[in-house]
Structure 1
Amino acid sequence: MTDAQSFYGRWAQVYDWLASAPGVASWRDRTADALALAPGDNVVEMGCGTGTNVPHLRERVGPSGRVVGIDVTREMLERAREQSARTGESVHYVQADAARPPVREADAVLATFVAGIFEDPAAAVDAWCDSVVPGGRVALLNFQRSPSALAAPLNLAFEGFVRLSAPGTRLSRRSHASAFERRVAAARERLTERTVDRRYDTFAGGFLGLLSGTVT
């Protein structure tokens, strides 16, 4: 078992509470919209956690579509399967490494809050793009420091957040946040290289960045 599996396995319930907090649903709606899903599409979420994005994805692909959630942590998937709003005939959960997903020919791929935990985020993005049919969309949602001057006090808490949310990733002792941000930047750079028709949005006071693009 990896450090990440052990960490998220212990904290799956708390993670689920935070991921379902009031106001978060609007973030998930905006992220799902970036995929430009249509009824009947097959969408895969890499690092799906407890499945809090699933209802938003399922709503867009309809009963004729399919939602696949991939996560390496068994306890996270068990939590997802316990929630009736996150299950159904069109929803499938797979325990696997999201950096090496066992899927192909998806119409879209979503990855929220996971790009910064991989040793090689660019390779993970390559795998995600390779999982999508030409013309399909890939979207990355990540936390980041806010550029707003008003957010300076909250930016001071960013280091602590990263230490808690990115376990077992061999981040620099000097600055976990800087290493985390470099990984997110590497993932975004690779997605930029692999896609066209890109869109970048920020919300939640600039603390969230959403990059999406169409795979060629």
Structure 2
Amino acid sequence: MPRTGRYRSSARFYDLISAEWPVYRAGRVAAIDLMALRPGHHVLDIGCGTGLNFPLLQNRIGPSGSITAVDASAQMLEQARRRAFSAGWTNVRLVEADASALDANVPDMASGFDAVISTYALSLMADWPRALSTMVAVTRPGGRVAVVDMQRPVGRARLWSPLAQLACLLGGSDIDAHPWVPMESALVDVRRRSVRGAHIQIRVGSVPTCTTDACSTGR
């Protein structure tokens, strides 16, 4: 089932049924911490869902920054819109679009974003490699790209594997996609973190500022 169809009926209740606070919020917190955002930064949130990243991002970028939030589901975007309106955030732009096929109509696409993040979204997409390539392409040189996604738990946490697989199945995610792997060669200064028995994988890297071995991260 396409993502837009899967979340059409559950969007209003997603925050309650997604195990956000006991499990998945930890990945968002870790990623946004590693991104080292600053006031005034312009951030692209790919597969934003109901806007669960918004409060964490707003704490870093402040009112002088902006969030461009993209999702293919109109129902999820409606919940994100309500979240932004309730909090009084006027610096959030919502875009209904396929993340693997963004075009120049998306605000700030041409000039480049200071940072791009995707949390628990790439593994939902059939063409996630293209979406990841787009994330890198629309980030300015030296800017940060962050991916948070899921894999099977390891070590003693393997006992929880059936529950992790069930959660991914119900949500439509491919637990074996591992969309963070290509970041290791596409970006520089890649920071790695894992939480919840390595079920949640976090990668944050910088877009190279040039194409030679002497490239800096531009931080």
User: For this structure pair, what is the TM-score category when the shorter chain's length is used for normalisation?
Assistant: 0.7 to 0.9
Q: For residues 78 and 20 of structure 1, do their structure 2 counterparts lie closer, same or farther at Cα, with a shift above 3 Å needed?
A: farther
**Superposed counterparts of 1:53-132, under 5 Å:** 53-83=53-83, 84=85, 88-102=89-103, 103=106, 104=109, 105-132=112-139
The residue that corresponds to 1:183 in the other structure is 177
Matching residue of 1:171: none
- TM-score under structure 1 normalisation? 0.85
Secondary structure of the structure 1 residue equivalent to 2:102: coil
Q: Which residue of 1 aligns with 2:189?
A: 197
Provide closer, same or farther for how the CA distance between residues 211 and 85 of structure 1 changes in structure 2, counting only shifts above 3 A.
farther
Task: Give the unaligned 5+ runs of structure 1.
Answer: 168-179
- The CA distance in 2 between the partners of 1:25 and 1:147, in whole Å, is 19
Deviation at 1:53, TM superposition (A): 0.6
Separation in structure 2 between the aligned mates of residue 125 and residue 21 of structure 1, nearest angstrom: 23
Structure 1 counterpart of 2:199: 207
Q: 1:172 — aligned with what?
A: none
Contact 1:48/1:70, CA 8 A, preserved across alignment: yes
Distance 1:39 1:19 in 2: 30
Contact 1:202 1:209 in 2 (8 A): yes
Deviates more, 1:32-41 or 1:115-124: 115-124
Q: Secondary structure at the match of 1:109?
A: strand
Residue 41 to residue 19, structure 1, CA distance change in 2 (3 Å)? farther
- Aligned equivalent of 2:39: 39
**Aligned counterpart, 1:5:** 4
| Structure 2 equivalent of residue 156 of structure 1 | 162
When the two structures are superposed, what TM-score results if normalisation uses the length of structure 2?
Answer: 0.83
- Once the two structures are overlaid, the 10-residue window that deviates more, 124-133 or 81-90, is 81-90
Which 5+ residue runs of structure 2 have no aligned equivalent?
209-219
Aligned residues: 200
Q: CA deviation at 1:206?
A: 1.8
Aligned equivalents of 1:156 and 1:143: distance in 2? Answer: 13
Query: How far apart in 1 are the matches of 2:150 and 2:138?
Result: 24
Indicate the SS of the match to 2:191: strand
- CA distance in 2: counterparts of 1:20 and 1:58, whole angstroms: 22
Conserved 8 A contact 2:118-2:146: yes
Cα distance per residue 1:73-94 (max 9 Å; x no partner) = 0110111112245551111111
Contact kept, 8 Å, 1:9 with 1:75, in 2: the verdict is: yes
